[in-house]
Structure 1
Amino acid sequence: MNDMLKLAKDIIRRAQDRARAYSDRQGSEINFEVGEKVYLRVPSRSEAMKTGPCPKLFSRYCGSFPILKRIGKMAY
């Protein structure tokens, strides 16, 4: 029983390591500076941006908004 538990934990750890390595390769950090202008992504079901009868044609982004202050590493 103890060997099976160790084996299961090892398999889970290896799967997590693979997922982490894949995520690190795919992801990229984007840094913005104060004063730059950015677009905000709008959720597809947002009531605020619906214009027209066809959901496929709704705006996916709104803006451009200037960055006023950096609050955290990824928060502006």
Structure 2
Amino acid sequence: MAPFEAFYGRRCRSLIGWFDAFEVRPWGTDILRESLDKVKFIQEKLLAAQNRKKEYADRKVRDLDFMEGEQVLLKVSPMKGVMRFGKRGNISPRNIGPFDVLKRVGEVAYKLALPLGLSGVHRNFICLC
């Protein structure tokens, strides 16, 4: 009998001694096999979750191609307290434009015809559609 059992009349139920003392636990290759099975099970569940998220994301993605002469809106990221495109605060625009597409620079990059008021902004933009 353990000292704790002798003194208190019951087994110690600490986190270390929570398992049953007489429980037969697998040793050697059994532990390895069980842990590998658990790892495979977890990997399968993670892969299923990744595939499900990819399906949801792919539904929202659409391929957009703009031709020369088309007009597009330019999405801007408003920053708090910074004057952007003539407006301030909550009324700052999310999209500005429309601007003409001058030419296609890459697969998703376009050169836009910007007015003189936006001369400090780079002319080439990437379409994140």
TM-score range, shorter chain: 0.7 to 0.9
* 1:47 to 2:83 alignment: yes
Higher relative contact order (CA 8 A, sep 6+): 1
Secondary structure (helix, strand or coil) at the match of 1:14 reads helix
2:72 equivalent in structure 1? 38
- Mapped to 2, the partners of 1:39 and 1:4 lie a distance apart of 51
The match for 2:50 is: 16
Q: Percent sequence identity over matched residues? A: 31
Name the CA distance, whole Å, in 1 between partners of 2:108 and 2:46.
29
Deviation at 1:12, TM superposition (A): 1.0
Mind listing any 5+ residue stretches in structure 2 that lack a counterpart?
Answer: 1-34, 111-129
Is 1:68 aligned with 2:106?
A: no
- Write the deviation string for residues 17-76 of structure 1: whole angstroms up to 9, x where unpaired: 101111112222222111111110110216332525xx2211222222211221222221
Aligned residues: 74
Q: Which entry has the higher C-alpha Rg, 1 or 2?
A: 2
Contact preservation (8 Å) 1:50, 1:59? no
Q: Which amino acid aligns with 1:49?
A: F
Distance 2:83 2:44 in 1: 47
| CA distance in 1: counterparts of 2:56 and 2:98, whole angstroms | 32
Structure 1, unaligned stretches of length 5 or more?
none
